[in-house]
Amino acid sequence: MSFAARQQQAEAVWQEFIQPARLRVLIGSATCGRAAGSLEVMQAFAEELTKAGLREATDLVEVGCLGMCYAEVLVELRGRDGKRVLYQGVEPRHVADLVQTQLVQGEIFQPLALALMENGEETTPAFYELPMIKPQVRIVLRNCGIIDPTNIDHYLARGGYAGMTRAFALGPAQVIEEMKASGLRGRGGAGFPTGVKWGFARNSVADQKYVICNADEGDPGAFMDRSVLEGDPHAVLEGLLIAGYAIGATVGYVYCRAEYPLAIERLQGAIAQMREQGFLGTDILGSGFDFDIIIKKGAGAFVCGEETSLMQSIEGKRGMPLSKPPFPAVSGLFGKPTNINNVETLAAVSAIMEKGAAWYAGYGTEKSRGTKTFALAGKINRTGLIEVPMGIPLKMIIEDIGGGVLGGKPFKAVQTGGPSGGCIPAQFIDLAVDYEHLAEVGSIMGSGGMIVIDTESCMVDMARYFLTFTENESCGKCVPCRMGTQHLLRILTDITKGKGNLGQIETLRKIGDTMKSASLCGLGQTAANPVLTTLRYFEDEYRAHIEDKKCPAGACRALITFTIVAARCTGCGACLRACPVAAISGVKKHAHSIDQQLCIQCGSCRQVCKFEAVLVN
């Protein structure tokens, strides 16, 4: 069957799926949705639909993550009238009402309704007018939450593998030029131009070449790659195939951490479908191109996000970085020319090859083209996965998309780039988010973690937290990283306990600068960023810990005490019940008190008090 005929077949399947002839229930069931209870919700729908006699007339489908993690479990229902409604916070106890109200009676279940989607699939739904969604441009996330990720027909009907066939028509050299013209830069953190990188590997002469998809996402608070693999695996695999074609590789690897079982399951299913369709194997679609894909499970070492460490792991060796040169494009996996891109980059590649370089380059800024996904987390009202044009103001991400800081507290800083990134203070709230502007303030784009920090967070403790991670994840091969992370963590720990001295501020800077200039790989070169940027913008907090033995944010346990203001306390007992060590005493409707000898400074009392009666000193 020709590719055009296969597309027509897939389009027929998709039209049947989107037409209102059948009832439909879509459940956001990526890892985030499952953690919130989506599988239990799905089971409840299966039972309630059966009771109502509607099971055979209803498509009950798991889809990927729509990105609005704060609103999980998300469910979209389509009734007999074709009206589509997106519901938020769905629990099994709500399912009977949802089935009866919309699928039986044709009405909207107002308590959980988030957005009324317009009839049909071709018009712009109200979903795209939601505050969190409206500023976004969904290219990498174009299919997530919309298609059944286990159905290749859905991907084909929405333009899938058209980029592959276009690449075959253009030829490898022109595909590389298309990538260069698009302005796509590697989304794994370094931001190196993708087309240029492919050109290096293309020009290397060898009997065997490899392409690798780096899906070893290890940043705390990051879940971009996982969500794409779970919601749209074919977009990534098509991009990997195109990369292989461009550089002349016949084997591709997807290096995915074993901690992502659902992503691996989706990948395995998608690869099997590619083989069935003739998109993998020998002479793919008569192009003369041979290609196959292998999944390699990683053990979850953060350092294996670095290219040479990743390749060492695939070869069965301990994941430790190698000195460069030679670079992977010359001598990589098994000593052969190798190209490595991350999940987001490859998902963008398949879209670029389908719609063209000029289309993609129309988004973003002159030096940072296209879009970027971010995992929006921390003290923010609307946590989730977003995709925005490069150059968008940081303020728009935090206030318009994220809905502002949790609890209405003042915005203090944002950590970008994960544990290797920097803390950007509130004074740069209008900063354009792209590679160049982030670098100017001492941070990095990284793979796309974005953690929002409020005034109740201590910047010294934040730096200590990230150093705890990088010190533990250092492979130990080079001295600057191995010893540097240890010394930084020891000093930061002392300062948060009130045991620091002023001379240690300069010591932190010296160690950090040494690590940046002398470490072997990107882990060590960037591990000091949280320390250096917090010193740059929040040195006063370091000095308060050292000189005054106080934590201004009230976060470092060794330097704070909690007290209850009797005039504000109503005696509700919430703090008493929340205290894990029974340090609070009092009777109902009378002011309570805290036994300082028993208190462990956990802050539970402060978190549950609705009357601001608990103060931190």
pLDDT value for 348: 97
Q: What is the DSSP string of 339-404?
A: EEEEHHHHHHHHHHHHH-HHHHHTSB-SSSBSEEEEEEEESBSS-EEEEEETT-BHHIIIIIIS-S
Strand partners, 616: 562
Q: What is the DSSP string of 186-206?
A: -TTTT--BHHHHHHHHHHS--
- CB-based burial, 389-409: b 16+ in 10 Å, e otherwise: bbbbbbeebbbbbbbbbbeee
Question: Which stretches of the chain drop beneath a pLDDT of 70?
Answer: 118-126
pLDDT value for 120: 47
Q: How many beta carbons lie within 10 A of that of residue 607, not counting itself?
A: 12
pLDDT value for 512: 96
* pTM flag (> 0.75): yes
Helix (H, G, I), strand (E, B) or coil at 416: strand
Angle at 168 between CA 164 and CA 172, to 5 degrees: 105
Phi first, then psi: give them for residue 568, nearest 5 degrees.
Answer: -100, -20
- Pairing type for strands 251-257 and 292-298 reads parallel
Contact 542, 553 (CB under 8 A): no
